[in-house]
Structure 1
Amino acid sequence: MFKKIIIQADERGLLFNKGRYMKPLAPGIHWVSKLRGDTVTVMNVMKPFIVPGKELNLFLQDEELLRELEVVDVQDYEYVLHYEDDKFAQLLTAGKYAFWNALRRHRFIRADIRVPEIGSEVDLSILPKLGGCVQMQEVASGERGMLHYNNVMQKELPPGKYYFWRGPVQAVIKTVDLRQQQLDLTGQEMMTEDKITLRLNFVCQYRVVEPLRALEIKSFEEQIYIQLQLVLREYVGTLKLDELLRTKQEIAAYALSRLNEKSAEFGIKFLSAGVKDIILPGEIRDILNTVLLAEKKAQANLITRREETASTRSLLNTAKLMDENQTLFRLKELEFLEKICEKIGTISLSGGSNLLERLNALIGPKGDAS
């Protein structure tokens, strides 16, 4: 008893006898004997070569069938990108795969995931289709990246986006900011040489110039902060309070000089520094205010005495000139008379002398005005 099997152009058949693979069947009409236990598995050549319940290696011994298949063996340390007619189809992980080459052209790109960085042969546009097999890390503008494989430094990376395979080797980019940064030291209590405790607010700017060196230092910013503290304590401790207040502008220059002596150790360059505030204890501030007030009062008294002396000297000179020159004396009298007239509403004159004599009598030693 025979059974008719029709295989279409986009199909292939696999002939089995009592479950044992015999041969492939090309498109066309085939007759198989049911009495002998023949069966046919019809497969679509547009789909991967997968026979349910059968191992792939069972069919790869057939040279005739092998000519119609593309076989790819993916190792444990590999990913394989599968393209059909130059279009990405799927990502293949460890295992063996077979595809019909009848109606489609297959292409494979192998990636060794022991080297995590994704090479230029992989089009970045397909990465979203790869799911959890890919990770992205970014180095921002103004930063420098240090690429590490399993905590081992590999190379330095400029700003950009970088893609890595997820696999046995862990890829991590550690970034270092190369932009100018500011370190604020706020409210630090320090003691001067004369045992006065004050609080200092200080600021400095710096820039990282050796990113790798900066990464090698644990708690990088904290160590810079402590170094700045030590430098300032060293300087403040050598000066009395009056000297410190008088030369506070020199603190920044000293601190900057000392910090740059240590800059090579940190891989940075200190750019500028400055004192923001010097905060004194309340009782010291009151004492200084009292001293300042006394100094200002003494200065004011000195200026007053100086002006009084100058005014007296000027009057003495004027008196000498008036004593030597009667005309000047009379002009001065008329000047005073003018000032008196500005404050008196009316002046009454009596007697037979002329007007000038009567006015002269007003400004004389016994003159009367009413």
Structure 2
Amino acid sequence: MTTKLKNPLIIQDDERALLFRKGGYVKLLQPGKYRLSAWREETVIVLNVTKRFQIPGKDAELFLHDQELLAQLTIVEVQDYEYVLHYVDGKFSALLTAGKHIFWNVLKKHTFVHADIRQPEIGKDINLAIMSKLNGYYQCVEVANYETAALFYNNVMQRELAPGKYYFWNGPTTVLVRKTDLRQQQLDLTGQEMMTEDKVTLRLNFVCQYKIIDPLKVLMIKSFEDQVYIALQLILREYVGTLRLDDLLKMKQEIAAFVLSRLNEKGDDYGVQFLSAGVKDIILPGDIKDIMNTVLIAEKKAQANLITRREETASTRSLLNTAKLMDENMTLYRLKELEFMEKICEKIGTISLSSGGNMLEQLNSLLSAKHE
């Protein structure tokens, strides 16, 4: 916009001029050549028709009574509850907020798409390709293929959202999307101190896997994971408190089956299905561990002694059987004698035998003398 006072006044094809006389608006001047009258105090404001129609310091309403001017303008009014997308010759130009917006329509075609932001979700009539040009006016929510989500307007639930990408206007309605992960999840209960029936305090590490099957029910539970954690903790305490320590150590697998069964009884209340459960570790106090190690060592020693006695008995029985056979069979006796000599010769360099007595008697005599 420029103000021109010189003569002659030339208005180009892409311009229009507003003629003023003594400060008051007179009429619209089309492209051409004009002479201004100084004594009439005539002035003009020249406007570029490719720009928006606006005159700083003056209300546009002062000019809209002029039908000739009005015919060359496009006017769009945007309500407080609206956003309007402005297109020039079919291409997106700008987003218009509440107010009156005026454009020249002589060289370019202006079209508008009205969006009621009281309904926040951006509809299919809006070309999503322009969303990058609307930063600050909308929010985008993505729901992954392993998720489901609940849509809330002003804290009132509207519907579930399937996996996909959703756009919402930033307007008077508060939009909240709460997502739920539908993948298998794991809950770890670690270092829980529990007391057995025989008053032994131990620490238990337990794990369970579950999957959400009713997302809406999960959303209605405050601190869902905390509540499931406490339910698991109470079931374990109930079970461990009915068993003595020795029984508990023997029944580790049965603990998992019992807990899984009890959890699934509560599964409908939480909107989940519990898939598996198990004991990871049972950690005993130091003094109990020492006692159990002592008992274990004693048991192993007793087992070792029993095995040793069995072996000694078997060896003695074998010797007895061998002796009986030797009494009954001189050839066997002779073979045994030779075997005995072979063993002696392996350990002794030179052996001298005197006559008299049999060989075994002399060797026994020799060995007895050496030991003395």
User: How many angstroms apart in 2 are the aligned matches of 1:310 and 1:367?
Assistant: 25
TM-score, normalised relative to structure 2: 0.89
User: How many angstroms apart in 2 are the aligned matches of 1:350 and 1:244?
Assistant: 73
User: How many angstroms apart in 1 are the aligned matches of 2:353 and 2:7?
Assistant: 163
Task: Give the superposition deviation at 1:361.
Answer: 3.5
**3-state SS of the aligned residue for 1:299?**
helix
Task: Give the superposition deviation at 1:300.
Answer: 1.5
Q: 1:313 aligns with which of 314, 317, 320?
A: 317
Task: Give the superposition deviation at 1:19.
Answer: 4.0
User: How many angstroms apart in 2 are the aligned matches of 1:247 and 1:366?
Assistant: 62
RMSD: 2.4
TM-score, normalised relative to structure 1: 0.89
Q: In the alignment, does 2:71 pair up with 1:67?
A: yes
User: How many angstroms apart in 1 are the aligned matches of 2:260 and 2:365?
Assistant: 81
1:201-350 paired onto structure 2 within 5 Å: 201-348=205-352
Matched residue pairs, number? 362
CA contact under 8 A between 2:212 and 2:273: conserved in structure 1? yes
Distance 1:309 1:274, change over 3 A: same
Q: 2:153 aligns with which of 149, 162, 183?
A: 149
Distance 1:81 1:196, change over 3 A: same
User: How many angstroms apart in 2 are the aligned matches of 1:15 and 1:342?
Assistant: 139
Distance 1:61 1:346, change over 3 A: same
Kindly provide the amino acid, as one letter, of the partner of residue 299 in structure 2.
E
**What CA deviation, in whole Å up to 9, does each residue of 1:235-290 have, x standing for no partner?**
11111111111111111111111111111111222121111111122222222222
User: How many angstroms apart in 2 are the aligned matches of 1:369 and 1:273?
Assistant: 73
The aligned residue for residue 46 of structure 1 is 50
User: How many angstroms apart in 1 are the aligned matches of 2:363 and 2:244?
Assistant: 69
Kindly provide the amino acid, as one letter, of the partner of residue 233 in structure 1.
R
Kindly provide the amino acid, as one letter, of the partner of residue 157 in structure 1.
L
User: How many angstroms apart in 2 are the aligned matches of 1:103 and 1:229?
Assistant: 75
CA contact under 8 A between 1:79 and 1:113: conserved in structure 2? yes
Gaps of 5+ in 1: 352-357
Gaps of 5+ in 2: 1-5, 368-372
CA contact under 8 A between 1:362 and 1:369: conserved in structure 2? no
Q: 1:362 aligns with which of 355, 359, 362?
A: 359
User: How many angstroms apart in 2 are the aligned matches of 1:98 and 1:194?
Assistant: 87
User: How many angstroms apart in 1 are the aligned matches of 2:352 and 2:337?
Assistant: 19
The aligned residue for residue 124 of structure 2 is 120
Distance 1:103 1:322, change over 3 A: same
**3-state SS of the aligned residue for 2:135?**
helix
Task: Give the superposition deviation at 1:192.
Answer: 1.3
CA contact under 8 A between 2:14 and 2:48: conserved in structure 1? yes
CA contact under 8 A between 1:191 and 1:197: conserved in structure 2? yes
**What CA deviation, in whole Å up to 9, does each residue of 1:152-175 have, x standing for no partner?**
212222344433221101112222
**3-state SS of the aligned residue for 2:136?**
helix
**3-state SS of the aligned residue for 1:198?**
strand
Kindly provide the amino acid, as one letter, of the partner of residue 53 in structure 2.
F
Q: Quick one: percent identity of the two aligned structures?
A: 67
